Amino acid sequence: MRPIKPSIIIISCMILIGTSTIWHFLQASAQEPAIPSWVKNTVKWWSQGQTTDSDFLQAIQYLIDNNILQVSSRPTQSNSVGNMSGVSGNQLAVKLDDLQTRYDTLETKYNLLVQQVRNLGDHSSNMNDNNATISAVAVSPVIQSDGFFETTTYQGAVLKITVDVRDGTGLVLVNTAIPTGVDFQTSAKTAVTVAHNITGIDLSKKDVIFSISTGNNQNLQAVDGGSAGGAMTVLLISDILGKSINSQVLMTGTIQADGTIGPIGAAAEKADAAGQFGAKIFLVPQGQGVMPVQTCNKTNEGPIIYQTCTTEEKPLSPAMESKYGMQVIEINTIQDALKYFNSS
């Protein structure tokens, strides 16, 4: 009689949740879009030894809880081992030998299941070849001179940002056509920290590479990278969780380590660039959905004309709705931004 291996309990438990059901799920996963990409990423990383069993089991439990993976119940085998009292030595040997045979069958099915999980990970890897993309709004300074004095105004610029998450050592990189200073790099690192805190996904064994471009790459030298931090964070979180990004939503705002959206400058110029781009919703930091409006009055005193001007802040959204049909909405946190970007 062959000895029963200690791992029989673990193998049996996995098969009891329905090997044939999981196999059907694995076969159907390539055709059914209901499986979130973050689950596929977790399965892939688990099969490569890059995440924990706990993360893998949580992903499987998510599928079960959301009825994506249907677990069929199995009738209890009342005569499998049962009560051993009153069983003779020969009868016990027969039962143990039968149990060993069942174990061999379960082990074969388990190995097949593991192989199919690995295949699912490979399939997920192929599906993630296309990098996720988001559009963000920043500004570049425009210097004007009359020969004596120079004045600086700001012009909005729409950035195209892509992210690539690949196996690595935890590097966070920013790839641009030409150097852009430290703002983008700082924003990228903060985006990774916030994405980990919100999703719970460990990125320490992944390299995260952001690529940034505009219609005219020479403008990148003057573009403020900090205000793209919120959009970079939305992009990374959406990519990790497999969420699509609404292309009619744009935003501006720095990203803070606690997930709040920080202040920016030139909100009106950025809103104008977003409206020209075709956005329907433009997200700005809390308290910055306003624009300065100057009102001037002229008075005559004899041959002298006096002009007095005052500047006051007025809501930005009505002007943008009238001009572009675009709403300007103030937000506090990255979770607020995700609600708009991940909506259809």
Q: What is the pLDDT along the chain (344 residues), one digit of tens a residue?
A: 444 333 333 433 443 344 344 434 444 444 454 677 677 777 777 777 767 777 777 777 777 777 766 544 444 444 444 444 555 567 767 767 777 777 777 777 667 766 655 555 454 444 444 578 999 887 776 777 777 777 777 777 788 899 999 999 999 988 876 555 557 888 999 999 999 999 999 999 999 999 888 765 545 555 556 888 999 999 999 999 999 999 999 999 999 999 999 998 889 989 999 999 999 999 999 999 998 888 888 888 888 888 888 888 899 999 999 999 999 999 999 999 999 999 86
Instruction: Return the pLDDT at 43.
Output: 75
Q: Is the same domain home to 111 and 187?
A: no
Residue 24: inside a domain: yes
Sign of the Cα torsion 58, 59, 64, 69 reads: negative
> How many CA atoms lie within 13 Å of 112's alpha carbon, on the beta-carbon side?
14
Q: Is the same domain home to 93 and 238?
A: no
Tell if the pTM clears 0.85, that is, is over it. no
Residue 265: inside a domain: yes
Instruction: Return the pLDDT at 83.
Output: 47
All residues at 6 or more sequence positions from 27 whose CB lies less than 8 Å from its CB, including other chains: 116
Instruction: Return the pLDDT at 274.
Output: 93
Residue 278: inside a domain: yes
Pairing of strands 172-176, 206-213: parallel
Residue 58: inside a domain: yes
Domain boundary among 96, 127, 158: 127
Q: Is the same domain home to 199 and 277?
A: yes
And the tokens for 33? 């879009």
- The number of folded domains in the chain is 2
Residue 3: inside a domain: no
Domain boundary among 64, 92, 127: 127
Q: Is the same domain home to 315 and 256?
A: yes
Is 69:21 a contact under the CB 8 Å cutoff?
A: yes
And the tokens for 213? 């471009």
Instruction: Return the pLDDT at 146.
Output: 72
Q: Is the same domain home to 152 and 169?
A: yes
The CATH number given to whatever domain includes residue 333 is: 3.30.230.10
Q: Is the same domain home to 328 and 186?
A: yes
* Nearest partner of 286 among 244, 322, 252, judged by Cα: 252
Q: Is the same domain home to 172 and 320?
A: yes
Instruction: Return the pLDDT at 21.
Output: 42
Q: Which domain holds residue 291?
A: 132-341
Domain boundary among 127, 151, 184: 127
